[in-house]
Amino acid sequence: MDSYWSQRAKTFWLRDGDSNTKFFHAAVNIRRQKNHISTLYDSKGKQHSTPTELGNLACSYFQDLFTTLPGEIQAVTDTLDCKISQLDNEKLTTPLSREELCTALFQMHKDKAPGPDGFNHGFYKRFWEVCGKDILSSCNSWIEAGELPPHINDVVIALIPKCPNPSSMKELRPIALCNVIYKILSKALANRLKPLLQKKWVSWMMMFITSVHFQVLLNGNRVGSIVPGRGLRQGDPLSPYLFILGMEGLSSHIHKAERLGNMHGIQICRGAPKLHHLMFADDVFLFSQASEKEPNGVATILKTFEVASGQAINYDKSEVFLNRHAPPTNIMLSNTLHVQKCMTTGKYLGLPSMIGRNKNKLFRFIKERIWKKLQSWSHKLLSKAGKETPIKAVLQALPSYAMSVFMIPNRTIDEIEKLLNAFWWGANSNKHKGIKWMRWERLAISKLEGGLGFKNLSAFNLAMLAKYYPEDSFLNASLGHNPSYTWKSLWSTQHLLKNGIHWRLGNGNTIPIWGDCIHPHDPSNSQAFKVSDLMSNDKNGWNDVLINSLLDKDSSNRILNIPILNPCIVNPISSVRTPMLISTHLHLKTETLNVS
């Protein structure tokens, strides 16, 4: 029963510990309430509330979305170059092996939602030794015949709200729940595509795409019957790779427009190549000049790509950002592209793309994400050991991505740590705030030292940024004039690296004596000595007399105690005792503990 309710609750962070099913029951109820859809409005503003009306609205929406539009694809395909060799094609079209299918299966989480047949990934993993041979035989026979049997490629579309209380179909994220046996075959072919397309392989892809049959999962009930004429499914292992292949057509079409002078892009700095577009997953940045002609060229490119690929651009989520020096007449750019004008570039890949003055407001989204997670958990249903797991595995992992790029403001970190401390000591969102028997700083030390092993987020932030520059070139970098917030965040860890690394001396020809890890203080009358100048003639030891004459007693003793490895090797930099990220994190935690 614990396994059943953990699957329903989707608590993938929970591995061992609490077996109290009350927690799973509560998580399932919260998920059900959050995902329940009571009312939706169609494109004309008409309200739909009954199950029948909601089902008809969902089916009509997806039927229109997946209906093929007439068009010519040659305008895009003519811009593509042949990049797959005959040898690559032969590798793509060889018969599948049992190892390929096994690898594909075990790359998927065992408790992910099953497809229409009801069998989840865990079932196939558990009984792979029994059914693996039959699955291999069936898959090879299907691709040899070029046709899938009925219902193998049936799909249920689960609707996940993108925001609280969604009011239209556009505010629901469709996730395709495919049969696992189909996903095994699909992912095996996707794995072949990763490192590298012959007509035979393309026919296999068309077999998967054209045999789809959709049903919509609405409040737990399946409604409708949709046979799509275009589009890909989010949830199909093949879809990301096929999408990338399609986006290659858009990229080639943009390059052609640039060669014809219809699109000019922008220059980041003098002498830099022009930038026309950036792509990541399904996000695209297009850069163009603010002229009267260029918006029409961009609109033509997008329309041609839509018709050729069958991929529909979501103009409701698209925005145009104008340079502050752009003339006011360029509002026509927004009108021509049918997108709204925005004052900032917002987030890209989950992080702010522009940094303003109010850093706390900018990074408040991290605190809000943690707060939302806490609201979905009830502290009364978790023991202390049960709370430790989500704090370490989920809550403290949420800021890691942002911390690897930016220095998060201290105020934001303090607010996050207060939330974690309150959750640990039993506070809830109502009147009871709990008694905090110990400060977070005392909890955020190792268990060997009397703490609970939670992260000191400030120290962890510095360690995450310091990992970008483990080499000596960063040690001498200056902050510069008018630096960006990203560079200031990285540069702030320079002192940490200087304290956490040392030279492993070889011949000493490249290491300066002054202003570095050997002797950080640079006298005003110093000469540009190298460490090799302080060594004996045979380079196997130190010149004691010279060192004692140049430096004070403490500095001399410190240098004389540095071992010389081999005079024939170059001087590598290494971290002290432990890998850099661990070393710097522990070093900072120790400093914080000593200060407090």
- Tell me: do 209 and 289 sit in the same domain: no
pLDDT of residue 585: 45
pLDDT of residue 344: 64
Close Cβ partners of 215 (under 8 Å, ≥ 6 residues apart):
116, 154, 155, 156, 157, 222, 223, 224, 225, 226
Q: Above 80 in pLDDT, residue 319?
A: no
From the centroid of its chain, how far is CA 133?
36
From the centroid of its chain, how far is CA 541?
50
Distance of alpha carbon 442 from alpha carbon 513, whole angstroms: 40
Mean pLDDT taken over the chain: 74
Residues 162 and 173: beta-carbon distance below 8 Å: yes
Distance of alpha carbon 15 from alpha carbon 137, whole angstroms: 35
- Identify the CA nearest to 196 among candidates 268, 230, 245: 245
Q: Label residues 529-549 b or e (16+ Cβ within 10 Å = b).
A: bebbebbeeebeebeeeebbe
Q: Above 80 in pLDDT, residue 118?
A: yes
The fraction of the chain above a pLDDT of 70, given in percent, is 69
User: The whole model's pTM is what?
Assistant: 0.51
Using H for helix, E for strand and C for coil, what is the string for 346-387?
A: CEECCEECCCCCCHHHHCHHHHHHHHHHHHCCCHHHCCHHHH
Q: What is the DSSP letter of 195?
A: T
pLDDT of residue 575: 44
Residue 69 burial (CB count, 10 A): 10
HSE (side-chain half, CA atoms, 13 Å) at 357? 0
- Tell me: do 185 and 63 sit in the same domain: yes
The answer to the question of residue 256 being in a domain is yes
- Tell me: do 119 and 252 sit in the same domain: no
Tens-digit pLDDT profile for residues 220-238? 777 777 777 666 776 677 7
For 8-28, what is the mean pLDDT? 56
Tens-digit pLDDT profile for residues 426-455? 765 555 566 677 788 888 887 888 788 888
The answer to the question of residue 463 being in a domain is no
Tens-digit pLDDT profile for residues 251-304? 888 888 888 877 887 777 777 778 888 877 777 888 877 777 777 778 888 888
- The total number of residues shown for the chain amounts to 596
The answer to the question of residue 538 being in a domain is no
pLDDT of residue 269: 73
pLDDT of residue 201: 60
∠ CA 96-101-106, nearest 5°, is 160
Q: Above 70 in pLDDT, residue 239?
A: yes
Q: Above 60 in pLDDT, residue 581?
A: no
Whose tokens are 């009312």? That residue is 39
The answer to the question of residue 44 being in a domain is yes
- Tell me: do 180 and 199 sit in the same domain: yes
The answer to the question of residue 435 being in a domain is no
Of the residues 184, 215, 237, the one at which a domain ends: 237
Whose tokens are 């997008």? That residue is 302
- Tell me: do 206 and 107 sit in the same domain: yes
Distance of alpha carbon 83 from alpha carbon 497, whole angstroms: 44
- Tell me: do 124 and 247 sit in the same domain: no
pLDDT of residue 148: 85
For 144-168, what is the mean pLDDT? 84
The answer to the question of residue 210 being in a domain is yes
Q: Band of the pLDDT at 518, cuts 50, 70, 90?
A: low
For 389-393, what is the mean pLDDT? 82
Q: Above 50 in pLDDT, residue 595?
A: no
Distance of alpha carbon 382 from alpha carbon 20, whole angstroms: 8
Q: Band of the pLDDT at 594, cuts 50, 70, 90?
A: very low
Whose tokens are 């977070």? That residue is 440
- Tell me: do 181 and 253 sit in the same domain: no
- Tell me: do 117 and 261 sit in the same domain: no
Output 67 or 434, whichever has higher pLDDT.
67
pLDDT of residue 361: 84
Lowest mean pLDDT of 72-81, 371-380, 398-407, name the range. 72-81
Q: Above 50 in pLDDT, residue 467?
A: yes
The answer to the question of residue 523 being in a domain is no
- Tell me: do 216 and 256 sit in the same domain: no
∠ CA 329-332-334, nearest 5°, is 125
Of the residues 294, 324, 343, the one at which a domain ends: 343
Distance of alpha carbon 8 from alpha carbon 5, whole angstroms: 5
- Identify the CA nearest to 23 among candidates 38, 8, 41: 8
Distance of alpha carbon 568 from alpha carbon 553, whole angstroms: 29
- Identify the CA nearest to 302 among candidates 281, 277, 275, 267: 277
- Tell me: do 132 and 220 sit in the same domain: yes
Q: Band of the pLDDT at 70, cuts 50, 70, 90?
A: low
Residue 11: domain span: 1-35
Task: Work out how many domains the chain is built from and give that number.
Answer: 3
Q: Above 80 in pLDDT, residue 42?
A: yes
The answer to the question of residue 558 being in a domain is no
- Tell me: do 338 and 223 sit in the same domain: no
pLDDT of residue 431: 52
- Tell me: do 185 and 247 sit in the same domain: no
Distance of alpha carbon 474 from alpha carbon 482, whole angstroms: 18
